[in-house]
Amino acid sequence: MNQGMDPQDQRNFIIAMVLMIAFVFGYQTFVVQPQQEAREEAQQQAEAERETGVPQAGDTGEQTIPSAESVEEALSANARITMDAARVDGSVRLRGAILDDLKLKDHFTTVERVNELRLLRPTNYQHGYFASWYWFDGNQPVAGPSAEWQVEGNPTLSTENPVTLTYEGNGVSIERTISVDDEYMVTYSDRVTNTGSEQRTLAPLGSIRRQGQWKEFLDATDPGSSRTSGMAHMGLIGVFDDNLTWRNYKNLDKGKGLKESDDIGVRRASTGGWLGFTDKYWMTSLIPEQQYEFAGRYQRLSRETGPVMQLTVASAGRVIEPGETITSENRIFSGAKEFAVLQGYEEAGVPRFEDAIDWGNILYYITKPLFSLLRWLEGMVGTFGLAILALTVLVRLPLVPLYNQSYKSMAKMKKLAEPMKEIQERFKEDPQRRQQEVMKLYQREKANPIAGCIPILLTIPVFFALYKVLYNTIEMRHAPFLYIQDLSAPDPTAIGNLFGLLPWAAADVKAIPIIGLIIGIGFLPIMYGVTMSGIQALSPPPTDPTQKMIMRFLPLIFMFVFAGFAAGLVMYWVWSNILSLIQQYFIMRRNGVETELDKLIARLLGRQKEEA
């Protein structure tokens, strides 16, 4: 096939095919959500245990009876202590000292900022999500989920006021102080006394449970988040001996557990770590005392009320003589994955806590610095929207020499369009001679047909890294700019309501079957198509009619693809295209090439003269 095509045709054909493949891949990855798979029947995991100093409780005994119709009804069924801290509010259930009611004061379910986002929900609610720390003797609970704790003193938990609970039973006396810092960390500080006459080996065991089908409980926390699981890791996440591990909810639902675990699903760490469930923007994790070894385990439990996902973290057992008292301090992080907050906890000793944010496996070395640069620019210019525009300029500055060389090459190729066409016609029947003449033309004019592609190849990693940053970092969530209320969401405008001039909502227009795909396209994706068409008009046109038709439709195709991208990302690309258009136009003019814009202006001026 290549014998009948000259290098220029080959180049254009390859570019067109690469772009089409990229479109198909991108559309499947970023737009089309995976088809909902049939749920496998829940299977009870084998309760194979072995004698160690770490409890291996298969089921912590937490009650899972989702009977309440609402969260409020579920909360009223148990005695509680109220929590009203700097950034979280809610309550703690006294029975079991379970943290099962937690809302985030600074984050809301919608951009209207009316309802605080509820992260944890009570055990007797269908989408229960809760955590606590218990005490076990081997596999037997000493102060487990059913332990009745008593309040000592002020019953309101706040950042300034820790609450003290006491428990007596099963041969132990425990004084527990629950405190919450000015972010999202809740600390359980225990003084455990052996009140019996025999030596005991006790260990703290933390547990997190999520009840129900995984897509349903994701949407119960953050409406619509189950449909955005493609580019962000959501599921199990943890660190064992400084090694990050994860497993997404889909695989957890299939019964898969911790990676690198033993035959009963337990993974051990000797130098600290943590384990939890992460959503796109939120996380709840268990952080044991870092000086002791610990074991983590995941189980999918089957209940009449539905499946239950359970994480347990157990520290090594500690020997307590009769009358002896030991102290233990274990923590629960439950909140937003804000970079500065996670960074602060990592600096305070929680290993690799920053990596709770999905920076990407391959793009890690680009996404993290890119995010830091965006945060710095936001501090300089005031908003993330302006920071993205400034970032576009900074990304392009080092590439200006390459862009200049690229556009000069394009200018030469555009000037050679007529000679190329003449060669094509003269040697139509002799492909080999045609290629020879084309190569002579390139050498004589010092033109390089592939030079125009180099800057694009260098900016593609930045494009994907920025997409990852905008998609996964909570700092972009609900960040407004101009008419855009959320830079991390698709453009909120639509053709169907004339970009807000008509009274119906853009979301309703986009929801119309089939036709909504067309009339639901917003302003920014349209601008991307327009600017991409402008760049094509300044570039050398393909000589092959088929290639020309493919290239002509690419702006339209990518306009539909970009309609589902984050508005901040499309804004970055539109602004980059505008800068490219300006730079390319002036270089074309400097090299004596008449552009389509010049022809259009000439036609308009000529028409005006005729009318005059």
| pLDDT tens column, 84-99 | 999 999 999 999 999 9
**Is residue 115 situated within a structural domain?**
yes
d(CA 600, CA 589): 15
Read off the pLDDT band of 396 (50, 70, 90): confident
Q: What is the pLDDT of residue 492?
A: 87
Q: What is the pLDDT of residue 294?
A: 95
Domain with 121 in it: 54-358
Q: What is the pLDDT of residue 31?
A: 44
Please check the confidence at residue 49 and state whether its pLDDT lies above 60.
Answer: no
Q: Are 9 and 543 in contact (CB under 8 A)?
A: yes
Most confident segment among 229-233, 253-257, 428-432: 253-257
Q: What is the pLDDT of residue 612?
A: 52
606 and 468 within one domain: yes
219 and 102 within one domain: yes
Most confident segment among 300-304, 434-438, 454-458: 300-304
Please check the confidence at residue 445 and state whether its pLDDT lies above 80.
Answer: no
Q: What is the pLDDT of residue 3?
A: 38
Q: Which of 317, 335, 358 is the last residue of a domain?
A: 358
74 and 144 within one domain: yes
Read off the pLDDT band of 425 (50, 70, 90): confident
| pLDDT tens column, 147-184 | 999 999 899 999 999 999 999 999 999 999 999 999 99
Read off the pLDDT band of 318 (50, 70, 90): very high
d(CA 17, CA 301): 48
**Is residue 292 situated within a structural domain?**
yes
Please check the confidence at residue 268 and state whether its pLDDT lies above 90.
Answer: yes
**Is residue 12 situated within a structural domain?**
no
246 and 224 within one domain: yes
The average pLDDT across 468-495 equals 88
Q: Which of 319, 336, 358 is the last residue of a domain?
A: 358
| Range of weakest confidence among 176-180, 261-265, 387-391, 444-448 | 444-448
241 and 388 within one domain: no
Q: Which of 403, 374, 381, 345 is nearest to 580 (CA)?
A: 403
308 and 208 within one domain: yes
Read off the pLDDT band of 582 (50, 70, 90): confident
The chain-wide mean pLDDT, for the chain, equals: 82
Q: Are 12 and 551 in contact (CB under 8 A)?
A: yes
Q: Are 176 and 270 in contact (CB under 8 A)?
A: no
Burial class (CB in 10 A: 0-12, 13-18, 19+), 454: middle
**Is residue 193 situated within a structural domain?**
yes
Q: What is the pLDDT of residue 403?
A: 67
Cα separation of the two ends of the chain: 54
377 and 293 within one domain: no
Most confident segment among 60-69, 221-230, 335-344, 435-444: 335-344
**Is residue 170 situated within a structural domain?**
yes
Q: What is the pLDDT of residue 86?
A: 97
276 and 226 within one domain: yes
70 and 160 within one domain: yes
Please check the confidence at residue 40 and state whether its pLDDT lies above 50.
Answer: no
Which ranges of 291-426 does DSSP label H, i.e. alpha helix?
Answer: 339-347, 364-381, 384-396, 400-415, 417-426
**Is residue 318 situated within a structural domain?**
yes
| Range of weakest confidence among 91-95, 431-435, 578-582 | 431-435
3-state secondary structure of 176: strand
Q: Rounded to an integer, what is the distance from CA 568 to the centroid of its chain?
A: 14
What phi, psi does 603 have (nearest 5°)?
A: -65, -45
| Range of weakest confidence among 265-274, 295-304, 384-393, 544-553 | 544-553
pLDDT above 70 coverage of the chain, percent:
79
| Range of weakest confidence among 32-46, 238-252, 385-399 | 32-46
Read off the pLDDT band of 410 (50, 70, 90): low
pLDDT above 90 coverage of the chain, percent:
46
The average pLDDT across 358-368 equals 86
Domain count, the chain: 2
Q: What is the CATH number of the domain that holds 242?
A: 2.70.98.90
Q: What is the pLDDT of residue 15?
A: 59
Q: Which of 311, 337, 358 is the last residue of a domain?
A: 358
**Is residue 144 situated within a structural domain?**
yes
283 and 248 within one domain: yes
All residues at 6 or more sequence positions from 283 whose CB lies less than 8 Å from its CB, including other chains:
237, 276, 277, 333, 334, 335, 337, 356
Maximum separation of any 2 CA atoms in the chain, in Å? 111
**Is residue 476 situated within a structural domain?**
yes
136 and 90 within one domain: yes
Q: What is the pLDDT of residue 502?
A: 79
Beta-sheet pairing, 282-287 with 80-84: unpaired
| Range of weakest confidence among 375-379, 437-441, 499-503, 602-606 | 602-606
The average pLDDT across 66-82 equals 89
Size of the chain, expressed as the number of residues it contains: 612
349 and 400 within one domain: no
Neighbours of 46 (CB within 10 A): 10
